[in-house]
Structure 1
């Protein structure tokens, strides 16, 4: 079979996916019309033309503007279902969806509205596509830790409905240490913890996420390559990195996909996974990230299979849930 077909049949988990970042311009305009929301752009074409980012912040400015179209429970349901349809076509068997409640509550959208819509989509995706899922609440790091605690307080009455917390948004100037107390509280609550670190931020941010936040996965982590000691630690601890190749190129972390260090990190024994981050903005869902990375970096089919296995092993699921996926993966010939 050809490479695209091979990638599609690999059972895989997507572990770094911002559900708001799957808002395609067509759906954005449909929801904006439905809700009477004015967008900064006049058309789908004008919106796509704006997707030329100089850095993470230039992307975030556009991302938050587009999120204004999301208002009611049905919007969040429709958003997530559009993602799950694409994920099913890409061979995703499990997805862990990041969501940013602060992006919505700041606009007057209730936390429960967001959660209800996403949770209903997760249940529908399980029935319709046999995709299991988890919801991970992300704190916006450009806001204060106190605002993070306020968001956690909103989530507490229904904390069993989420599975973990993360840390995203503008990395530079907002080190993980800023949120040490908040993450300690989340760990006390029994929540899984992850954090973005080492995308634009230095290797020291990755170390802080490991030591101060005690994360179970590092989101991005590509700048670990600048520190041999950190690389050795990540390999030794088998700390999963949720790498997003097309995103990294779109945000100018690497000049081209051929310059990406994903294969070098894999060769160094690091538990890298491939994910799509904000695919509506970065030009490709998880299958395209696999295919394009393979072409640009010379990844062989066994390496792609290893990356898929890494994703399944790093997912926040039970061994009983994971076992049939791993057995299916093992049965696929390269």
Structure 2
């Protein structure tokens, strides 16, 4: 089949590479425009745009799937549209333009975690099993019929980046199989079942660690917001990024947000047992070992979250 692929971040790249290596033809790649990155704010192509260039595929860059994007897509006479984390909505008439419509690779077990940040919300909520699914795109938010699905056991300690990378690669094979089944006429769509939950884009407040929660919840929030938007706490009003944290396995009595040392380890109290801060980044400074940051701190009786 002739396929149009829409995607933007690194998580979409394995799917593009898989389809480009398959028997299907990727007629056009749609991605968001170059964005300023780094301290110098250098305009940089999206990971999907970079991968498409390496594959020699035509690219259409657009911030939204408007009339111009619709014209560019439909000029390729596609059999199917495929979207993986593009970052924008597909509306009519583009939605029904390709012969088989559009399918979406989504990184959760729908209808759980419909929305822009399913992996992050999965981990923050403490789920131990997640997955990926390919569904028929409709006008509703992630509501279409499921065409294929896989399950994935979340490894202990895995961050959102770890889980998303695993699902991106596993999901690429699932997507290829679904596209082939659609072309062969052997796809078997089924309605979503169960209670939906919402996974909106994370805010900075979502990334703020709440030390009165249990250690398990604190670490789940840290894992779910690492690396984006980046877990943090505050010390005397100054933001401290928490780059690495872990269970403490310590019975040192610490009130929520209070610091303590266990040998060379820096501990913080939670609503239950303490957790270990391993690596942090103070505002305006480079990343460093948490114990080194603690030794250089010039605040009397600091409290995390203050």
Normalising by structure 1, we get a TM-score of 0.26
Which is strand-richer, 1 or 2?
2
Normalising by structure 2, we get a TM-score of 0.27
Higher relative contact order, chain-length normalized (CA < 8 Å, sep 6+): 1
Larger Rg: 2
